[in-house]
Amino acid sequence: MANKALNVTAQRVTQRLALSALALLLTAGVAQAQTLEVSNAQLSLLPGNTPGAGYFELYNTGDEAVTLVGAKSPAFDSVEIHVSSEHDGMAHMHELTSIEIASGERFEFAPKGHHLMFMRRVEPLNIGDDVDVVLEFSDEQQLPVTFNVVSPASM
Ligand SMILES: [Cu+2]
Protein backbone atom coordinates (compact mmCIF):
# COMPACT_ATOMS: atom_id res chain seq x y z
CA MET A 1 0.00 0.00 0.00
CA ALA A 2 2.73 2.42 0.98
CA ASN A 3 4.46 1.60 -2.26
CA LYS A 4 1.39 2.45 -4.32
CA ALA A 5 0.99 5.83 -2.61
CA LEU A 6 4.60 6.60 -3.37
CA ASN A 7 4.04 5.76 -7.03
CA VAL A 8 1.09 8.11 -7.26
CA THR A 9 3.11 10.92 -5.70
CA ALA A 10 5.97 10.31 -8.11
CA GLN A 11 3.55 10.44 -11.02
CA ARG A 12 2.14 13.77 -9.86
CA VAL A 13 5.59 15.25 -9.52
CA THR A 14 6.47 14.07 -13.04
CA GLN A 15 3.30 15.63 -14.43
CA ARG A 16 4.03 18.90 -12.68
CA LEU A 17 7.58 18.91 -14.04
CA ALA A 18 6.30 18.25 -17.56
CA LEU A 19 3.86 21.14 -17.27
CA SER A 20 6.56 23.51 -16.01
CA ALA A 21 8.82 22.50 -18.90
CA LEU A 22 5.99 23.13 -21.35
CA ALA A 23 5.26 26.54 -19.82
CA LEU A 24 8.95 27.45 -20.10
CA LEU A 25 9.03 26.38 -23.75
CA LEU A 26 5.92 28.40 -24.57
CA THR A 27 7.31 31.48 -22.82
CA ALA A 28 10.62 31.15 -24.67
CA GLY A 29 8.81 30.81 -27.99
CA VAL A 30 6.80 33.97 -27.46
CA ALA A 31 9.82 35.97 -26.29
CA GLN A 32 11.75 34.94 -29.41
CA ALA A 33 8.96 35.68 -31.85
CA GLN A 34 8.72 39.24 -30.57
CA THR A 35 12.26 40.00 -31.75
CA LEU A 36 11.34 39.56 -35.42
CA GLU A 37 9.00 41.84 -37.34
CA VAL A 38 7.86 41.19 -40.88
CA SER A 39 6.27 43.94 -42.94
CA ASN A 40 4.94 44.39 -46.46
CA ALA A 41 4.80 40.66 -47.26
CA GLN A 42 3.76 40.29 -50.90
CA LEU A 43 3.66 37.31 -53.20
CA SER A 44 4.05 38.29 -56.84
CA LEU A 45 2.23 35.79 -59.01
CA LEU A 46 2.51 35.29 -62.77
CA PRO A 47 -0.36 33.65 -64.67
CA GLY A 48 -0.18 29.90 -65.17
CA ASN A 49 1.79 27.49 -63.02
CA THR A 50 5.04 29.44 -62.87
CA PRO A 51 6.82 30.02 -59.55
CA GLY A 52 5.75 33.00 -57.44
CA ALA A 53 8.19 35.44 -55.84
CA GLY A 54 7.89 36.55 -52.21
CA TYR A 55 9.03 39.99 -51.10
CA PHE A 56 9.04 41.40 -47.56
CA GLU A 57 11.10 43.18 -44.94
CA LEU A 58 12.45 41.22 -41.98
CA TYR A 59 13.45 43.39 -39.04
CA ASN A 60 15.52 41.77 -36.30
CA THR A 61 14.81 43.82 -33.18
CA GLY A 62 16.59 41.30 -30.95
CA ASP A 63 20.06 41.38 -29.40
CA GLU A 64 21.28 38.40 -31.39
CA ALA A 65 21.66 37.56 -35.06
CA VAL A 66 19.10 35.16 -36.52
CA THR A 67 19.53 32.85 -39.50
CA LEU A 68 16.71 32.22 -41.92
CA VAL A 69 17.09 28.66 -43.20
CA GLY A 70 13.85 28.07 -45.10
CA ALA A 71 10.16 28.62 -45.53
CA LYS A 72 7.07 26.56 -46.18
CA SER A 73 3.49 27.16 -47.28
CA PRO A 74 0.48 24.86 -47.58
CA ALA A 75 -0.30 26.54 -50.93
CA PHE A 76 2.97 25.42 -52.57
CA ASP A 77 5.00 22.22 -52.92
CA SER A 78 8.15 23.94 -51.73
CA VAL A 79 9.62 27.35 -51.00
CA GLU A 80 13.26 28.27 -51.72
CA ILE A 81 15.43 31.22 -50.71
CA HIS A 82 16.81 32.87 -53.87
CA VAL A 83 19.02 35.77 -54.79
CA SER A 84 18.99 37.48 -58.18
CA SER A 85 22.04 38.81 -59.95
CA GLU A 86 22.92 40.15 -63.36
CA HIS A 87 25.82 39.06 -65.59
CA ASP A 88 26.41 40.51 -69.05
CA GLY A 89 22.93 41.98 -69.09
CA MET A 90 21.32 38.62 -68.30
CA ALA A 91 19.28 38.09 -65.14
CA HIS A 92 20.14 35.00 -63.10
CA MET A 93 19.12 33.66 -59.74
CA HIS A 94 20.38 30.95 -57.47
CA GLU A 95 19.31 29.25 -54.29
CA LEU A 96 20.75 30.11 -50.88
CA THR A 97 20.72 27.70 -47.93
CA SER A 98 20.54 30.48 -45.33
CA ILE A 99 20.59 34.22 -44.71
CA GLU A 100 21.94 35.72 -41.50
CA ILE A 101 20.19 38.86 -40.26
CA ALA A 102 22.23 40.80 -37.72
CA SER A 103 20.82 42.31 -34.53
CA GLY A 104 19.04 45.55 -35.44
CA GLU A 105 19.18 44.83 -39.18
CA ARG A 106 16.24 45.40 -41.54
CA PHE A 107 16.76 42.84 -44.30
CA GLU A 108 14.87 43.53 -47.47
CA PHE A 109 13.59 40.87 -49.84
CA ALA A 110 12.88 42.84 -53.00
CA PRO A 111 12.71 42.53 -56.81
CA LYS A 112 16.20 42.03 -58.36
CA GLY A 113 17.55 40.96 -54.96
CA HIS A 114 16.72 38.34 -52.36
CA HIS A 115 13.31 36.71 -52.58
CA LEU A 116 11.41 33.60 -51.64
CA MET A 117 10.63 31.41 -54.64
CA PHE A 118 7.29 29.61 -54.29
CA MET A 119 7.46 26.41 -56.34
CA ARG A 120 4.49 24.50 -57.75
CA ARG A 121 1.13 25.76 -56.59
CA VAL A 122 -1.03 23.09 -54.98
CA GLU A 123 -4.19 25.22 -54.97
CA PRO A 124 -5.50 27.97 -57.25
CA LEU A 125 -4.56 31.49 -56.18
CA ASN A 126 -5.86 34.87 -57.25
CA ILE A 127 -4.66 38.43 -56.91
CA GLY A 128 -5.80 39.69 -53.51
CA ASP A 129 -5.68 36.29 -51.80
CA ASP A 130 -3.82 35.73 -48.53
CA VAL A 131 -1.26 32.94 -48.37
CA ASP A 132 -0.01 31.42 -45.11
CA VAL A 133 3.76 31.07 -44.97
CA VAL A 134 6.03 29.96 -42.13
CA LEU A 135 9.60 31.29 -42.00
CA GLU A 136 12.04 28.82 -40.45
CA PHE A 137 15.15 29.79 -38.51
CA SER A 138 18.28 27.89 -37.45
CA ASP A 139 17.26 28.06 -33.76
CA GLU A 140 14.07 26.11 -34.62
CA GLN A 141 11.97 29.24 -34.42
CA GLN A 142 8.98 29.23 -36.78
CA LEU A 143 7.52 32.59 -37.71
CA PRO A 144 4.05 32.61 -39.35
CA VAL A 145 3.60 35.34 -41.97
CA THR A 146 0.62 36.12 -44.19
CA PHE A 147 1.59 37.07 -47.74
CA ASN A 148 -0.80 39.06 -49.92
CA VAL A 149 -0.98 37.87 -53.54
CA VAL A 150 -0.22 40.73 -55.93
CA SER A 151 0.29 41.18 -59.67
CA PRO A 152 3.94 41.47 -60.81
CA ALA A 153 2.91 44.74 -62.51
CA SER A 154 2.33 46.28 -59.06
CA MET A 155 5.91 45.67 -57.87
CU1 LIG B 1 13.97 32.94 -57.67
CA of 139 to the centre of ligand 1 (A): 25
21 and 91 belong to one structural domain: no
104 and 137 belong to one structural domain: yes
144 and 72 belong to one structural domain: yes
Residue 150: CATH number of its domain: 2.60.40.1890
CA of 84 to the centre of ligand 1 (A): 7
54 and 113 belong to one structural domain: yes
76 and 47 belong to one structural domain: yes
Domain that holds residue 42: 37-154
CA of 149 to the centre of ligand 1 (A): 16
The Cα 116–Cα 71 span in angstroms is 8
CA-nearest of 61, 32, 43, 5 to 137 is 32
Q: 147 - beta bridge partners?
A: 131
Instruction: Find how far residue 80's CA is from the centre of its chain.
Output: 11
The Cα 83–Cα 145 span in angstroms is 20
97 and 136 belong to one structural domain: yes
The total of structural domains in the chain comes to 2
CA of 123 to the centre of ligand 1 (A): 20
pLDDT in tens, 61-120: 999 999 999 999 999 999 999 999 988 889 899 999 999 999 999 999 999 999 999 999
Structure letter (DSSP) for residue 47: S
pLDDT in tens, 21-55: 555 555 555 444 479 999 999 999 987 778 999 99
Neighbours of 42 (CB within 10 A): 19
Q: 132 - beta bridge partners?
A: 146
124 and 71 belong to one structural domain: yes
17 and 79 belong to one structural domain: no
73 and 53 belong to one structural domain: yes
CA of 119 to the centre of ligand 1 (A): 9
Neighbours of 93 (CB within 10 A): 17
